[in-house]
Structure 1
Amino acid sequence: MKLHFFYLCLFLLFVSSCSKNESGIITVTGKIPAGALGKTLHHEHLLVDFIGADSTGYHRWNKDSVAERLLPYLLELKKLGYKTLVECTPAYLGRDPELLHMLSKESDIQLLTNTGYYSAVEGKFLPRHTFDETAVQLANRWIEEAKNGIEHTGIFPGFIKISVDRKPLEAINRKVVEAACLTHKATGLTIMSHTGLAVPAFQQLEILKEHGVHPSAFIWTHAHNETDFNKHLEAAQQGAWIAFDNFRPDRLERYVDFSLFMKKHGLLHKVLFSHDAGWYRPGEPGGGNFRGFTEIEDILIPALRENGLSQQDIHQLFVLNPAETFKVRPRLL
């Protein structure tokens, strides 16, 4: 109880000392009311650098050249009526808040960036200090970004992005999840965790509960990799967000079936859909092949309507749910 009270006090101190971030949703151009988020794709990428944490950096790409290549894809999204794209690339994997700020200004698409670390793939994308520091020390780094901005850019993270492997959690995964819990309690930022299967998803939910964090602060990312809809149902009933976020045309039937299943159980308000598409690849000619962000609008949404979802259901999935997901506030047990 004392620890819970401590983090509540820390959150109140955080918002009072950083009034621009005290409520609503935090984009790379500033705070907006949750109701201004609009139609949203909650999990996409504009640039990802897979070279590894020990080699990546801003020297690997030219911001102006990347922005010129990516701008048409955001303008295309805007024409389809979308207002927001959540950019999920974490630090040490190509996160570039200044690039996102440029693109947001040029496209008039609201963009969110993040704080946190990616602990999957045997730590390839973790900075060395992750292995040496405690969860508290890692959380302090992320809280600092939430309070004072990322790398002196004046740009603030709108959520916490972490990852774990598709198997039972190892010690490094647990440390990163614990750090995310501490950061949420101090900042109110939502935890988005690249997860996949049910076993690590429920292990993370247990860690949240151990730290007094409500499951509604957690996005089970890549939940489509779990084949048992009943596992999704169980997590959603606890309050977690269930993200089917790698839509492709060959997965249409499964996404429609999942939507109908969740609606039947009265839990469509806990579902998130996106493409996990993009992205500019440093080191490849012209940034490599880029997969755009239109297949949900062109293929999935018409199929959802054809199978009985109403316009209000579509509004729930792509407007109301993302707004509720990324609204900054502590969700504590």
Structure 2
Amino acid sequence: MTASGTARAGFVRTLTGDVAPETLGVTYAHDHLFCIPPLWREKKLDDFMIDDVEASIKDVELFTAAGGQSVYDATAIDYGRDPVALKTISERTGIKIIATAGFNKAIMWPGQMAGTGGTFQAWIDAHDRAAIRAHVVREVTEGMDGTDLRGGVVKFGTGYNTISTAEDKVMRAVLDAHKETGAPIHSHTELGTLILEQLAIVKAEGVDPNRLTIAHVDRNPDPWVHAKAAETGVFMCFDGISRIKYHPESVLIDCILRLVKRGHEKQLLIGGDIARRTMYRNYGEGGLGLGYILESWVPRFIEEADEAGFDGRALIHTFMVENPRRAFVFRG
């Protein structure tokens, strides 16, 4: 450890300590194990309240029973992050959890920011890029939300085909925090829009795209956009699995295999982005649950990949074991 609390290069920061990347094992690269989004709570959107530690633990047990070992929880402060609850889930189930510093997206910022007496938008408007950078750095090096539990990823996000002035400021501040700490970066894209625009800013700020994972790329199943993004070296998270309302699984699998054919298999990550009670199996709604990807989707992917002439099992190992080791690592 350095004096500032930043992990030595080559480590992954989890809520139970810094670990060697090789210890992550089978990893979901985007999920929400516990979150109470302030804006959705104010609007009484109960389906978004993932607020029961015991129910979350039961679903995590489905994940571990299917072979899961680690989860990146992409819940930032504006989406209702609770590092203490996440650490409890980690300790009681044995999984490693990587938590999120930074912010999600402007649509969430009318919500109340705890400890400020105002909204997230008001706080962001009142602080310049340097102050936001310092805030995110503290979340990585000292602790989040008044605790000593530190974030292992820094996050920013953009809206649906829009980057507001405030989102642009936050994005650049988060990139600054990455430069200072060596933390990996995660970005939210609304329905998979502005992937290439985000990458243009990342490169303009002198950040290696290989340090970034872009979420929700499968919401916009455009092979040309995916190919252009992959050419930069960025990690791409396919986290819309089971969301048939957007696209059938066949579309996602086809997008993945197109990228594999182009030689980008070492940049692909898999997650569920489970963020609704109705998606969990143990929140009383009987959803598919946190085990679904490993229980059902992985066997299907292996079968389809094998039929297409690939080694499906080897690809899953690459996506869910090898790639997270590099995507979530701190580097100098």
TM-score (norm 2): 0.85
Paired residue for 1:149, among 135, 143, 149?
143
CA gap 1:132/1:53 in 2 versus in 1, 3 angstroms: farther
Question: 39-48 or 29-38: which moved more?
Answer: 39-48
Paired residue for 2:291, among 291, 294, 318?
294
CA gap 1:290/1:22 in 2 versus in 1, 3 angstroms: farther
Q: Say which SS state the counterpart of residue 214 (structure 2) adopts.
A: strand
CA RMSD of aligned residues (A): 2.5
Partner of 1:12: none
The reply on whether 1:184 has 2:173 as its aligned counterpart is no
Displacement of 1:300: 2.0
Displacement of 1:127: 4.8
Partner of 2:259: 262
User: How far apart, in 1, do the equivalents of 2:145 and 2:243 lie?
Assistant: 39
Contact 1:46 1:280 in 2 (8 A): no
Partner of 2:89: 103
Displacement of 1:298: 2.5
Question: 103-112 or 296-305: which moved more?
Answer: 296-305
The reply on whether 1:228 has 2:222 as its aligned counterpart is yes
Could you give the per-residue CA deviations for residues 230-268 of structure 1, whole angstroms, max 9, x where no partner exists?
111111110111111121073210121112111110101
Amino acid at match of 1:297: L
CA gap 1:53/1:160 in 2 versus in 1, 3 angstroms: farther
Q: Say which SS state the counterpart of residue 237 (structure 2) adopts.
A: strand
Amino acid at match of 2:158: V
Contact 1:275 1:296 in 2 (8 A): yes
Displacement of 1:160: 1.2
CA gap 1:288/1:105 in 2 versus in 1, 3 angstroms: same
The reply on whether 1:319 has 2:321 as its aligned counterpart is yes
Amino acid at match of 1:50: P
Contact 1:54 1:127 in 2 (8 A): no
Counterparts of 1:57-206 in structure 2, within 5 Å, are 66-121=52-107, 123-125=109-111, 126-196=120-190, 200-206=194-200
Contact 2:13 2:98 in 1 (8 A): yes
CA gap 1:256/1:198 in 2 versus in 1, 3 angstroms: closer
Partner of 1:211: 205
Could you give the per-residue CA deviations for residues 30-67 of structure 1, whole angstroms, max 9, x where no partner exists?
001000010000111122323429969xxxxxx9x822
Q: Say which SS state the counterpart of residue 189 (structure 1) adopts.
A: coil
User: How far apart, in 1, do the equivalents of 2:126 and 2:99 lie?
Assistant: 26
Report the number of matched residues: 306
CA gap 1:93/1:290 in 2 versus in 1, 3 angstroms: farther
User: How far apart, in 2, do the equivalents of 1:191 and 1:255 lie?
Assistant: 23
Between Structure 1 and Structure 2, which shows a larger proportion of helix residues? 1
Amino acid at match of 1:33: A
Amino acid at match of 1:39: V
Amino acid at match of 2:30: H
Amino acid at match of 1:48: C
Contact 1:28 1:101 in 2 (8 A): yes
Contact 1:47 1:280 in 2 (8 A): no
User: How far apart, in 1, do the equivalents of 2:125 and 2:284 lie?
Assistant: 32
User: How far apart, in 2, do the equivalents of 1:74 and 1:46 lie?
Assistant: 8
Contact 2:216 2:239 in 1 (8 A): yes
TM-score (norm 1): 0.84
Q: Say which SS state the counterpart of residue 31 (structure 1) adopts.
A: strand
Contact 2:192 2:215 in 1 (8 A): no
User: How far apart, in 1, do the equivalents of 2:296 and 2:163 lie?
Assistant: 36
Paired residue for 1:44, among 28, 31, 34?
31
Partner of 1:10: none
Contact 2:38 2:80 in 1 (8 A): no
Contact 2:67 2:294 in 1 (8 A): no
